[in-house]
């Protein structure tokens, strides 16, 4: 925030969309959609997994391109949160998330890479024996996950940690089914295996800073060479916030629990 002098500049500032203050997070994120199955290992152990609340803010570029950005809700820290004051109910509510670093090997999808429809050079995913399309990843990713219906994911992770005393000693296979408040997860632990050397030596940024949106890239000091597409994107300035109203869904108990405001404590 800066002090403004002069009615003209004050008026102009008021016309700026609020969304221009949201920066896109460039850290690779581990995203599972309905039907996806992934193989991964935890880099963050149970003691350091972070619970936080996030707003989902839709952002639209002049080109019509849009994405939903998950924005940390500062209210948990006792700091005023501008998104908690949003007029739109979908944006105002903050959802409960678990945050960790994971090393993702692959994600199997029910459908072919949707990017192929827009980008010629997008990766073609190969079909495996089970008829799933395999996206090879092999890198560290930030996992911002909902807890699932009846907090199923949280409960499963707590059970696995109680059983093995750590989450780091093996790979896991996770499957997501359903979406929104009907989302459920299953996690299958593999046999124990040593942490691979390349994972041991990853130099990842502080998880808490990533959660808070204070770090938005894996290499904050480096100036990465942008592809022409990324450059175009970077030069575009979001102009409007588009609100996609979903048909009013009945609020389930789970939804009430996941959507803070009555500050349901978990740990």
CB of 26 or CB of 75, closer to Zn ion: 75
CB of 77 or CB of 230, closer to Zn ion: 77
**With binding defined as CB under 5 A, does residue 72 bind Zn ion?**
no
Residues pairing with 60 in the sheet: 66, 240
N-term to C-term CA, the chain? 35
**138-157 positions binding Zn ion, by CB under 5 A:** none
**With binding defined as CB under 5 A, does residue 84 bind Zn ion?**
yes
**91-110 positions binding Zn ion, by CB under 5 A:** 94
- Give the nearest distance from C-beta 74 to Zn ion in angstroms: 6
**With binding defined as CB under 5 A, does residue 75 bind Zn ion?**
yes
Q: Do 189 and 164 contact (CB within 8 A), yes or no? A: yes
Q: Counting Cβ atoms within 10 Å, is residue 6 exposed (0-12), middle (13-18) or buried (19+)?
A: exposed
Contact with Zn ion (CB under 5 A): which of 83, 101, 143, 185? Answer: 83
- Give the nearest distance from C-beta 86 to Zn ion in angstroms: 9
Residue with tokens 């009555």: 262
CB of 72 or CB of 172, closer to Zn ion: 72
DSSP letters of 20-67? Answer: GGPPPP-S-B----TT-EEEEEESS-GGG-EEEEEEEEEEE-TTS-EE
CB of 94 or CB of 174, closer to Zn ion: 94
- Give the nearest distance from C-beta 75 to Zn ion in angstroms: 5
- Give the nearest distance from C-beta 94 to Zn ion in angstroms: 5
Contact with Zn ion (CB under 5 A): which of 73, 132, 157, 259? Answer: 73
- Give the nearest distance from C-beta 182 to Zn ion in angstroms: 24
Buried b (16+ CB within 10 A) or exposed e, 65-91: eeeebbbbbbbeeeeebebbebeeeeb
Q: Which residues bind Zn ion (CB under 5 A)?
A: 73, 75, 81, 83-84, 94
């Amino acid at each position: 925030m800066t002090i403004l002098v002069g009615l003209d500049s004050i008026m102009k500032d008021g016309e700026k969309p609020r969304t221009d203050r949201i920066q896109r997070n460039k850290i690779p994120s581990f995203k599972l959609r309905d039907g996806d199955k992934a193989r991964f290992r935890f880099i963050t152990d149970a003691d350091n997994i972070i619970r936080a609340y996030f707003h989902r803010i839709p952002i639209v570029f002049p080109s019509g391109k849009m994405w939903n950005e998950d924005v940390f809700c500062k209210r948990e820290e006792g700091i005023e949160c501008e998104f908690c004051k949003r007029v739109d109910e979908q944006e105002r509510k903050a959802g409960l998330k678990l945050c960790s670093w994971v090393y993702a090997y692959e994600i199997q999808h029910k459908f072919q890479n949707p990017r192929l429809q827009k980008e010629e050079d997008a990766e073609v995913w190969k079909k495996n024996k089970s008829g799933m399309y395999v996206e090879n990843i092999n890198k560290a990713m930030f996992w911002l996950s909902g807890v699932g219906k009846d907090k199923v994911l949280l409960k499963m992770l707590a059970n696995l940690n109680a059983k093995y005393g750590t989450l780091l000693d093996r790979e896991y296979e996770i499957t997501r089914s359903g979406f929104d408040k009907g989302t459920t997860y299953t996690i299958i632990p593999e046999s124990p295996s040593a942490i691979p050397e390349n994972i041991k030596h990853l130099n990842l940024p502080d998880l808490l800073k990533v959660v808070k949106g204070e770090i938005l890239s894996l290499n904050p000091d480096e100036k990465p060479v942008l592809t022409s597409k990324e450059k175009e994107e970077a030069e575009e300035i979001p102009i409007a916030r588009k609100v996609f109203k979903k048909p009013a869904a009945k609020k389930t108990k789970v939804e009430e629990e996941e959507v803070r405001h009555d500050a349901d404590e978990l740990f």
